[in-house]
Each structure stands twice: as C-alpha cells, then as structure tokens.
Structure 1
Amino acid sequence: MTRVLLLGGTGDALAIARILPAGHVYSLAGLGRVPDELSCAVRAGGFGGIGGLARYLHDEKIALVVDATHPYAAQMSRHAREACALADVPLWAVRRPAWQPQAGDDWREASDWGEIVERVAPFRRPLFTLGREALHHLHEIPASQHWTIRCLDAHPGNERASIVDARGPFDLDGERALFDAAGIDVVVSKNSGGRATEAKLAVARERGLAVVMLARPALPAADRIFDDAASARDALQHWLTQQ
C-alpha cells in the first residue's frame, strides 16, 4: 500500500486528515486533543530527530509526507525536509500566508521573548496568545502588570496572571467580551495567518490597541507548497486516486 504521513496539530491538518482512509497516518506532537473521528491512524509523539523520522519513512513505506504543522513549528518542518531528502520521499507543505497590517493597525514586531517583554513594558493588561510560552514566565510578571494568557490547556495562574484555556475559532463578539472583562490594552500574538484566530486583531484595530507580533521563522522549501488546506486536500485526493 502507498502510504501518506500527514504532520499536523493544526485545524488545516485536521481538515486534510479527514480525507485520509485507513492505512495512512496522521501524526501529532502529543499536545492537545487527539482526534478520534478519523479513518486514518493517529500517531502521537516525536520521531527521534531527523534520523528517526527518516527510518520511520523507510520502515513504514511512506510514499508522501504532507507538512501541515503550525507556521511556528519550524524545527519540525526542517526535520521533515531533511528526513524526506534522506529517505527520498516527496514533501508537500501547507504554508498559510501571514497576516498583513491594515489601515489603523499598530503592530510592533518582536523576534524573541526578550523583545516581547520590552514591547509590552509600557502596558498594564497584555493578552498573550503565544500558546504555552508565557506560562514559563509567570514568576517574572512585573508588579505593574496583570497578564491574561490564552492557551489550549488549563493551567494555574497566580495573583498577576489569569489563564484562559480555549481553542479557536474565535469570533468578534467573543473577543470583545474577553477584552472588556480582562481590560486588555495590548495584544501579543504569533503571525499565524488564517481566519480562526484573526478576530483579536480586528478588535485591537477597532479599539486602537497595539499588537506585539512575534516574527515568523523561516521555513524550508518543499516539493509542493499550498496556501491553504482546501487546495492541499484537493491535490492529495487526486494523488491518492492515482496510486
């Protein structure tokens, strides 16, 4: 059997995984909810680096890898590129276009956590939407600030941090309610692209709030690159019928 390995963990990846029949593999890093409604196999956990992934591709007779990981999962994308080259397996990738600033936006780019801290220093009530990164710094919150941190999993906060466990998509009304309840005066975000989490940027724009935007990492080349899940899904459906 000609097998596909789909590297996922995003909404785009899940949309693609839904068309994979039994025998193909949807791989997750082991974080978040493991879907149970799919026909394909679901694999959670790492591969053991580039060499481990290359061996997996060989041993499992994988004929195509589709990288639909998060735009900030750059290490996984690099490992996939190098492992596919070692195993002589083609690599397709979904590369969601980055958001672009619009009229009225006040974006302030940061390249790492240190620069994020510098950019939010003048504000009192930041909203962090970086996943788990801010959770590692709860003990560093200045006395002048209270952080609201939104991530996938519940986590205890402290006297200067509130944790919101929620999964997108998020709409305008819900984001407005969160901004009001938490008194948000600045948003900290990855430039993830897509529509699922874009509403926070629209609310920041309409309220004249700054957005500290974490710069996107450089991602490796692939044999085919798709802008969205729909085009990747259609191409994969066609590829499967040709095997």
Structure 2
Amino acid sequence: MIWLIGGTSESVLIAETLLAQGLLCLVSVTTKSAIDLYPKTDLITVKVGALSFEKMITLAETYGIEKIVDASHPYAAAVSQSAIELSQQLQIPYLRYERPQVSPDNSFPIIELDSFDTLVNGDYLHDHRVLLTVGYKALPQFQSWHQKATLFARVLPSVSSVENALEAGFSPKQLIALRPPVSYELEKALCEQWQISLIVTKASGKAGGEDIKRQVATALGIPLIVIRRPELAYPQKTSKLESVVNFCCEHG
C-alpha cells in the first residue's frame, strides 16, 4: 500500500493517477472537508486529523505501508520531517512531491525573505497598507504590527480560519474569506478596494496563486514580499507526476 500524505491540490491528482494504476492508497489529510476531494473507491482509505509521530508509526504498521509519497503543503515542514524520520526508522522508501516554483520575472523586483521572523522583526511593513495572503496560522506573528501598519488578510472560508484571524487581532473589516483559486481580476480588484501598498505571500507556486500575486503587484507597481519555502534535506524529491508513478510502481 502507498501512503500519500495529502494537503495540496496536487495530492488529489496524484491519488487519482495511482488509483488508475490499481494501487492501494492510504491518504492522510488534516481537515474533514478534504475527504470529498478524493475518489470514492475501495482502493483508497482516507484518514483525517493531525498525526503525531507515534500515530504515524501505528498507521504505517497497521496498513503495511510499502512506499511514502509526501505531497504535503510546501510549508508543512514538521509533517515532512516526521515522514522522513518515519521512513528511515521503518526503512520505507520515501519520495517528496514538491510543487514547482514560480519562475522569477526579472522585470519587477521581488523581496524574498527566509522567514516570517525576518519579516516581522524588520521594518518592511511600516506605514504600509498590507495584504497578507499567508494562511491563518501565520497571522498571530503580525499582532505587534497592528499599530504600525494597516493590515488586511485573506483567509479560507472556514470557521477555524476566521476565528483564528480574529484572535490574532484582525477585525471583520480587515478580513475577506475566499477559497482559491483567486483570479487575477479579483485579486487586483481587492487590492484596489483596500488601497493595498504591499503584498505578502509565500512561495506556494502556481497552485497556490503565487504567479497571480506577482502579476497583480507588477500591474499596480507595489512591492511583493515572498517568504521562501522551508529548506529540508529530502531523501528524494520530484516535481513530476510521472516520477511519482514510477516510484510507486517499481519493486523493491
């Protein structure tokens, strides 16, 4: 059985492709809403919820996992690290599927930073009207900036996302709940409506709308700050679906 660690739109395509090969799949996701994204077939089992390292070991042993495909979000570093440790401890082959990076456009300057800590401890946001498209989990790190900048955030339309944003000091008028993908026209209109002077995003690739944000920042002539992906020492990594299928189908 293949263990597909989900969490991205690409993981659904990977699951569909593996099932078409007749491979048994265990898929792990963090939210119940993600269950409906995957095919309904006896070949697939979907597990929901955060997994401790101990639970991951139990799952691997219970389902007789033979291969691990890590297609978790580029910023879910803790999940990937646990999966790598699990593969090493139980000697299960591991492959990281990494969504492709957006090719840089040298015609417009992008500010790339290594972490949110670097961003909030610097002076990048001062006096700006900032649109944060970084996920609700990162919003608490910006609490100290509510008095030094005008912050707005786009979050997923879920109760937990909105509640966490409110707890991080964002008022309802500073929030908009939208499910990606967000079109160029809508992203640009939102920035114009809020008179945004700076956009902050993660290097989430085209699937995460990074290319759209780059286009909008260029069109409006405003700075774009991109937080780089965490760097991990993946045993194996690919951005090609074909390589994932070959990895899962090969014996040994």
User: What is the TM-score normalised by the length of structure 1?
Assistant: 0.83
Mean CA deviation greater in 4-13 or 113-122: 113-122
Choose 203-212 or 112-121, whichever is displaced more.
Answer: 112-121
Aligned partner of 2:246 in structure 1 is 235
SS at match of 2:149: coil
Q: What residue identity is the alignment partner of 1:65?
A: I
User: How do 1:31-70 residues align onto structure 2 when only pairs under 5 Å count?
Assistant: 33-35=34-36, 37-38=38-39, 39=41, 40-49=44-53, 51-70=54-73
Q: Deviations over 1:37-89 (max 9, x none)?
A: 5232211113322x432332122101111000111111111111110111111
Distance 1:161 1:233, change over 3 A: farther
* C-alpha displacement of 1:34: 3.1
What's 1:221 paired with? 234
Retained in 2: the 8 A contact 1:187–1:204?
yes
SS in 2 for 1:155: helix
Q: Tell me by how many angstroms 1:196 deviates.
A: 4.3
* 2:155 aligned residue: 151
Which residue pairs with 1:192 in the alignment? 204
More helix by share: 2
Unaligned runs of 5+ in 1: none
8 Å CA contact 1:189, 1:211 repeated in 2: yes
Q: How many residues align?
A: 236
User: Is 1:181 matched up with 2:210?
Assistant: no
Matched, 1:83 2:86: yes
Residue identity matched to 1:42: V
Q: Distance in 2 between matches of 1:34 and 1:141?
A: 37
Judged with a 3 Å threshold, the aligned counterparts in structure 2 of structure 1 residues 28 and 106 are, in CA distance, closer, same or farther, namely same
**2:25 match:** 24
**TM-score when normalising by structure 2:** 0.81
Change (3 A) 1:108 1:17: same
**Over the residues paired in the alignment, what is the CA RMSD in angstroms?**
2.7
Q: 1:212 to 1:119 in 2, by over 3 A?
A: farther
Aligned to 1:101: 104
Would you say 1:165 and 2:173 are equivalent positions? Answer: no
Q: Deviations over 1:6-64 (max 9, x none)?
A: 00110111111223448521111237643255232211113322x43233212210111
**Could you tell me the percent identity over the aligned residues?**
22
